[in-house]
Amino acid sequence: MNLRPKSRVSTEFNMSSMTDIVFLLLIFFIIISSVVKDPGLRLILPKGVKHRVVNEVIHVSVDANLNYAIDKEIMSVDRLPQALEEVLTAKPNATVSIRGDKSVAYDHVMELVMMADKLNAKVVLALDPVKK
């Protein structure tokens, strides 16, 4: 008695139809990507200038002993807003560069930033150490 099945199932897989689908998808995405020209971000780049504008810089600093200074002129914190306003009146387009010692609490540096901001000054924080 023969118990073996007469029909055998083939375990081979034909990949020719799969490669056709992959190539059709590849061609589709290549065509679509070349048709779509919309950039992700629309940027307006600045034009080059022929002359260089150099703004004046007013250096405001606070040291480890909480001594405040405007351009190396040491003064008290009470006199500082008035002195800064006088300097900004004399130099209206100047940028205020604020520098704080590493050991000074962040509040004292932010107090200088807020003081200059109230006077409508352009403010930058100086991060490099003072070169002597």
Q: In whole angstroms, what is the distance from residue 103 CA to residue 57 CA?
A: 24
Across the range 2-29, mean pLDDT stands at 81
Q: Are 84 and 75 in contact (CB under 8 A)?
A: no
Q: Where are the domains of the chain?
A: 57-125
Q: In whole angstroms, what is the distance from residue 9 CA to residue 54 CA?
A: 84
21 compared with 132, residue with greater pLDDT:
21
Nearest CA to 75 out of 90, 58, 62, 91 is that of 62
CATH of 57-125, one of 3.40.1010.20, 3.30.420.270, 3.90.470.10, 3.30.420.10: 3.30.420.270
Q: In whole angstroms, what is the distance from residue 79 CA to residue 88 CA?
A: 14
Residue 132 reports pLDDT greater than 60: no
> pLDDT confidence of 21, banded at 50, 70, 90?
very high
Q: In whole angstroms, what is the distance from residue 33 CA to residue 36 CA?
A: 5
Residue 36 reports pLDDT greater than 70: no
